[in-house]
A and B are shown apart, each in its own frame.
Chain A
């Protein structure tokens, strides 16, 4: 930590860290200095000149930008002098002379820093009689972002964000002087995973998003803080609702997680909430005309459950439930078991990347903020940029601040440029095993020996023997001061692990499913028939099951096989807690009414228990929350609603529970294809959110150029053929991949049926056309 010093602002003394900027020191002491370009998460540029203040120098008073000037001992600052006021008024007038007067139709009006500061610091009237600067009114710069250059005040927040924070500088200033404008490069749209952040930090209405444009006025919005389900990072968000419709999600600055940023998936994946396709009443036999009441559905299900011939009840859970809902499910299982001891009940998590992980030693568990304090970051997991996008931003920041980054292949090639060492095919085989002894990896030891290391560790591929991962972790543990983040990326996975006594994987479901017995299967917010490499086998099992109940938002490939579909609530419609990948528990809040006859998952579990005359059911989220808090290891700081609502705990509470995962270590086999999850895919929430639905449509595979040449390809559009499957795909060249290993997106339409361990053919589409002509 830096030293405390004292400075004098407007005649009063304040204490501050010696490495702070004037604007930060003043902000911390409650003295607001107006600004447009300065943003606390980005480097200062001193461009807008709104934050000018007077300081005393040996040569008299000087006007300096408070966003680029550091404090020093006994510095005398005046933020309110006549000179300062005149300068601020002047800057605002300069900004306004070319700013269009379209506030009445501007989305930003009402929450616009330019408006607010004009009211507070601006000139009363306009002296500008000349023509304003004109540009074509909003131009789309990507599928989801529009740019109005007339409104832009050229603060460089968006361009800096793209360059400094997200690392994809696809927007830049062009022209100069009075003609300066933000724009994209020709034929290169602003296709960034993080583009929505620029809309949020734009201090005027220059950048707008397709999903929010003209939908609401800020003063009509109802707002609540919550936690995003998008990834296991648990990003802090603010939900904006008007007339009972979710209209916008904004990032909130949580020092321990997203630091204000969101991925576009986390930001724009909400329109599905109000989709006409949502299931609003229980449905019988996948027949939409056959809607039944909740009571009827509960009768039917409890009758099935109470049947003495039952031998197995399986629960396949997804990652969008709250901790309270997982806890209620667990309570349901435990109580049912008390009544019927012969019943075999297991909970399976629908995530192909699940494995045992490293939970046995709680001293080993690291935190996201360790990124900022360790010497070296080791990464061997699935693609972070696609699956934990805001963690990716944190890693970028850490690297920018001098931390070493070492990546093991063959995923995360998008981060190779960021890394100090990327161990590709020379070190890691196609089957994700080490080609050499870990101790023999060139230059590896210098990154770790006696260093503070944070390892981000998980499976890179759904089919992967995890022994090499364990070997690496053991090696790191022996040779460095190791902390570790278990890299399960999806939603509230950690909440499921913490609150369900024993969690198994989908492979276990297939292996343990005995068709000769009577089986009931519940799928809960999961679509295993469309999201897993085991999808085909799971489909077979579900067809063979005696009774299938699906708790879900939409009809999908899994609900098609269900005897009863129970409609459930989603993000924003329920209150509860969420646990992120560092075991930080955060609050999720309800701001939307539940639609139709939709109930929370826990309510179904309670009702079923009631129907079969078992007590111990719960009556509210609050009751569940209080009960689940009892199992936390640290009793003094539990994530109860009360505790989480305290101002000091708005960033969440770190606490652990024992975690039990039972999963078989599979053989790697021979990987021909490496499946990855892309940020955008064909999940039912995304395809029912029109603004972003098209972003997950493209089907492409990646391979290195040698493979491309060896396979005698000349065109980038090919048919991928394996057995009966034919998929038209585009090829992207990625020379960081080993020979003959291609990367394919698991969460894009059509790919899940492919067997990654079997050979495939690539046939050029143009050849097929020629054939058909002949």
Chain B
């Protein structure tokens, strides 16, 4: 198993200065843009993206070409790049922003050309100071060189890019909360319906919201054609993905591979196995929101559909590995605490439920659990995510609440013995 470098090729070749516009230009940078401008046919660009079958890299995996097709007609339309990469375990957009910002900017310009958009925003999470600085510098360089502003490279195309730094809220990775934050409001998800971004997005105008990795793929697709891209990976999960591997592996990091290999092979090849030769007990296949897989499920293929069929999600491509000595109750509590802390507070089940779950797990973890806590945990989870099915149903406005439910259902489904071990053996009289 080998990496296939499309998006990370340039930064691997020039580890010191891949973010520099001269280096980018010298290595075929902005050639896709020039090609597109020369052809001057937005329809072709959209067709290439559709041919590539690329699906969004932010987590939901929605086909990008279809998304572009949904964008409602309006004089003002916006593109918003979602760089609020906050899912625990995910750090792939960071390198794209920090080390190859021009690849993203080129993708943005092409996307805007294809969708007739005059203004784009790159929203970067608040903690990403250095990536934001790099992107800002890159945007300024692009303006100087005539890739941005009015009459790009002498054509009729005009585009402005605004780089915006978030204020440290996970929820702003949810696209409508991101739009609120960008408008200067509280970072709270909007109601869908009616606020579907493609119809009523930023400032109530039709808005495309795409992930950094998705748009960074656009220049390669244009240079090499969508059909070439679709040859990579497998049907339904074409192209490469940058997986962020972390946890108890020997060599964590970002690895760009074609989709379709098994998780076991991926962990062995790129993580070089588990630290101290321990056994793998569980792993998260797609970021903290995703239900866990066990050590017996390592041959699941790394594709959007395979992971979904197995009851989880490939999500943002964050693979977190937990070894045999991991206390999974602590692990679950840690993840639930994260979601409780990041709940925006807007809707009742998430605001109250996530914190309650955290409190119960905290109590169990500190040895004050009760046997009845198991049924309580299940029922509170059920009140956030009715039926505890996958994909989750929800009583909440957005999927953050159900995300806090995933680790608990994972724990209860496959590792309930670990939870039982932390509870008193005697049944209290009240039961």
For the complex, give the distance between the alpha carbons of A154 and B348 in Å: 8
Tell me the minimal C-beta distance from A145 to chain B in angstroms: 22
Residue of A nearest to B394 (CB): A63
Flag if B342 contacts A177 (CB, 8 Å). yes
Q: Which residues of B contact A70 (CB under 8 A)?
A: 193
Flag if B348 contacts A176 (CB, 8 Å). no
Tell me the minimal C-beta distance from A354 to chain B in angstroms: 46
Flag if A173 contacts B186 (CB, 8 Å). yes
For the complex, give the distance between the alpha carbons of A62 and B193 in Å: 14
Q: Which residues of A contact B359 (CB under 8 A)?
A: 130
Residue of A nearest to B342 (CB): A177
Main secondary structure, interface of B, reads helix
For the complex, give the distance between the alpha carbons of A154 and B345 in Å: 9
Contact among B347, B356, B384, B393 for A97, CB-based, below 8 A = B356
Contact among A45, A47, A68, A97 for B352, CB-based, below 8 A = A97
Residue-wise, chain A 32-65 has the 8 Å CB interface mask toward B (1 for contact) of 0000000000001111111010000000001101
Flag if A176 contacts B343 (CB, 8 Å). yes
For the complex, give the distance between the alpha carbons of A176 and B343 in Å: 7
Flag if B169 contacts A90 (CB, 8 Å). no
Contact among A47, A52, A130 for B356, CB-based, below 8 A = A130
For the complex, give the distance between the alpha carbons of A229 and B368 in Å: 62
Q: How many residues of B contact A (CB 8 A)?
A: 36
Question: Which residue, B351, B355, B359, B384, has most C-beta atoms of chain A within 10 A?
Answer: B351
A178 in contact (CB, < 8 A): yes
Contact among B355, B363, B387 for A178, CB-based, below 8 A = B355
Flag if A49 contacts B186 (CB, 8 Å). no
Q: Which residues of A contact B376 (CB under 8 A)?
A: 127
For the complex, give the distance between the alpha carbons of A461 and B341 in Å: 56
For the complex, give the distance between the alpha carbons of A130 and B340 in Å: 15
A91 in contact (CB, < 8 A): yes
Q: Which residues of A contact B384 (CB under 8 A)?
A: 90
A93 in contact (CB, < 8 A): yes
Contact among A49, A62, A176, A177 for B396, CB-based, below 8 A = A49
Flag if B345 contacts A90 (CB, 8 Å). no
A180 in contact (CB, < 8 A): yes
- With A45-B191, A46-B397, A49-B349 known to touch, is A177 a contact of B340 (CB < 8 Å)? yes
Residue-wise, chain A 79-110 has the 8 Å CB interface mask toward B (1 for contact) of 00001001101110111011000000000000
A69 in contact (CB, < 8 A): yes
Flag if A49 contacts B347 (CB, 8 Å). yes
Q: Which residues of B contact A93 (CB under 8 A)?
A: 383
A772 in contact (CB, < 8 A): no
Q: Which residues of B contact A94 (CB under 8 A)?
A: 348-349, 351-353, 356, 383
Flag if A98 contacts B352 (CB, 8 Å). yes
For the complex, give the distance between the alpha carbons of A501 and B382 in Å: 72
Contact among A50, A68, A90, A178 for B193, CB-based, below 8 A = A68
Flag if A47 contacts B348 (CB, 8 Å). yes
Tell me the minimal C-beta distance from B47 to chain A in angstroms: 29
A179 in contact (CB, < 8 A): yes
B346 in contact (CB, < 8 A): yes
Flag if A173 contacts B386 (CB, 8 Å). no
For the complex, give the distance between the alpha carbons of A89 and B382 in Å: 11
Q: Which residues of A contact B187 (CB under 8 A)?
A: 176
A185 in contact (CB, < 8 A): no
Residue of A nearest to B383 (CB): A90
User: Which chain B residues in 169-205 approach chain A with CB under 8 Å?
Assistant: 169, 186-187, 191, 193
A128 in contact (CB, < 8 A): yes
B117 in contact (CB, < 8 A): no
For the complex, give the distance between the alpha carbons of A91 and B348 in Å: 7
Residue of A nearest to B346 (CB): A47
Q: How many residues of A contact B (CB 8 A)?
A: 37
- With A63-B386, A87-B383, A90-B383 known to touch, is A177 a contact of B345 (CB < 8 Å)? yes
A175 in contact (CB, < 8 A): yes
- With A154-B351, A177-B343 known to touch, is A86 a contact of B193 (CB < 8 Å)? no
Residue of B nearest to A92 (CB): B348
For the complex, give the distance between the alpha carbons of A180 and B350 in Å: 12
For the complex, give the distance between the alpha carbons of A94 and B191 in Å: 21
B419 in contact (CB, < 8 A): no
B344 in contact (CB, < 8 A): yes
Q: Which residues of B contact A62 (CB under 8 A)?
A: 393
Contact among B193, B394, B395 for A69, CB-based, below 8 A = B193
Flag if B345 contacts A68 (CB, 8 Å). no
Q: Which residues of A contact B341 (CB under 8 A)?
A: 177
For the complex, give the distance between the alpha carbons of A180 and B188 in Å: 12
Q: Which residues of A contact B396 (CB under 8 A)?
A: 49
Flag if A95 contacts B356 (CB, 8 Å). no
Question: Which residue, B186, B363, B396, has most C-beta atoms of chain A within 10 A?
Answer: B186
Q: Which residues of B contact A69 (CB under 8 A)?
A: 193
Question: Which residue, B191, B340, B348, has most C-beta atoms of chain A within 10 A?
Answer: B348
Flag if A52 contacts B343 (CB, 8 Å). no
- With A46-B191, A128-B356 known to touch, is A178 a contact of B382 (CB < 8 Å)? no
For the complex, give the distance between the alpha carbons of A175 and B394 in Å: 24
Tell me the minimal C-beta distance from A212 to chain B in angstroms: 27
For the complex, give the distance between the alpha carbons of A177 and B355 in Å: 8
Closest 5 CB pairs of A and B: A90-B383, A180-B345, A94-B352, A177-B343, A178-B355
Residues of chain A having any CB pair with chain B under 8 Å? 44-50, 52, 62-63, 65, 68-70, 83, 86-87, 89-91, 93-95, 97-98, 127-128, 130, 153-154, 173, 175-180
29 contacts between A and B (CB under 8 A): A45-B191, A46-B191, A46-B397, A47-B347, A49-B348, A49-B395, A63-B394, A87-B395, A90-B382, A90-B384, A91-B349, A91-B383, A94-B349, A94-B356, A94-B383, A130-B359, A176-B169, A176-B345, A177-B341, A177-B344, A177-B351, A177-B354, A177-B355, A178-B343, A178-B345, A178-B355, A180-B344, A180-B346, A180-B351
**Further contacts, 5 of them, CB under 8 A, given A93-B383, A130-B360:** A49-B347, A65-B191, A83-B386, A94-B356, A179-B345
